[in-house]
Amino acid sequence: MKNLKLLQCVNTPDKFDPALNDRLSVGIEIQDFFFSTLYDDGWEYRIEQYREKLKDFKGIISMHGPALDLSPSSTDNKILEVTRDRYYQGIKMAKMLNAKYIVFHSQINPIIKDPAVKKLILNKQLSFWSELLTEIEDTDLTILIENFYDNDYADFLLLLEKINSPKVKVCLDTGHVLCNSSKGIEHWVHGLKDYIRYIHFHYNKGDFDAHLSPHEEFIKEVSDILKINNITPVIALEYTVEDLESEIEKIRACD
């Protein structure tokens, strides 16, 4: 992965050293706003903390938007209203941070099998994302939709094809594939390679989303899959890193 752009995921400004990241040519994904805790109180101060640290930063800036308890395909107008408000707030924050990417979960429910219900959900999702796109049309911001509970990419791909926008791409989460999908990472990459611009890179043993540091065999496996499919996505290291310099060296050495 020596030629791929790497990002460090952080969930507090204290874990971000812009001088070190710049020296290592490593960008940042800000994950403080994954939970909605700060959305009602405290988000402005947190944004200012990051803006101060980012003012001379040269690397890629990304942000994870709100994720839990939200549904872009809800048929309940009040739930949809809350979801819309949180997503719009996330977009606003990403703009304030001059972010290049904002990540949202797909929120696709793989348990639903009824074709009529799946069609309804697809149409609701399509309407939601199309509306959200109007908020970023005059910016350099790209929306990344991330696999979460998804077992396969079929519904995911259909949604992307229907949205049909260069400003909506895929964040492939390797850990979510390992613990939530019966398909392998190669299957997902091959099917979505035209849309994958970004990868949440972490490992687990298939039991739960443990966000473990990937071992060298797994790094090599994913690196080979990306080469075979001829894609060069941004790689965000979505696990706790104690020594950033040595971790980056390990990732870049596995090629």
- 5-59 pLDDT, tens digit per residue, is 999 999 999 999 999 999 999 999 999 999 988 999 999 999 999 999 999 999 9
- Domain membership of residue 137 (yes or no) is yes
CB-based contact 127:83 (threshold 8 Å) = no
Domain that holds residue 219: 6-253
Is residue 82 within a helix (H) or strand (E), and if so which, with residue range?
A: helix 77-96
- 210 touches 173 (CB < 8 A): no
- The count of structural domains within the chain is 1
pLDDT of the residue at 108: 86
- Indicate the burial class of 175 (C-beta count within 10 angstroms; 0-12, 13-18, 19 or more): buried
DSSP sequence for 90-140: HHHHHHHTT-SEEEEE----TT---HHHHHHHHHHHHHHHHHHHTTTTTSS
Q: Confirm whether 161 is domain-assigned.
A: yes
Q: How far is CA 22 from the centre of its chain?
A: 21
pLDDT tens by residue, 74-127: 999 999 999 999 999 999 999 999 999 999 998 888 889 899 999 999 999 999
Does 1 map to a domain?
no
CATH of the domain at 29: 3.20.20.150
Would the pLDDT of 239 be above 80?
yes
Q: Residue 36 carries which side chain, given as an amino acid letter? A: S
Report the SS3 class of residue 48: helix
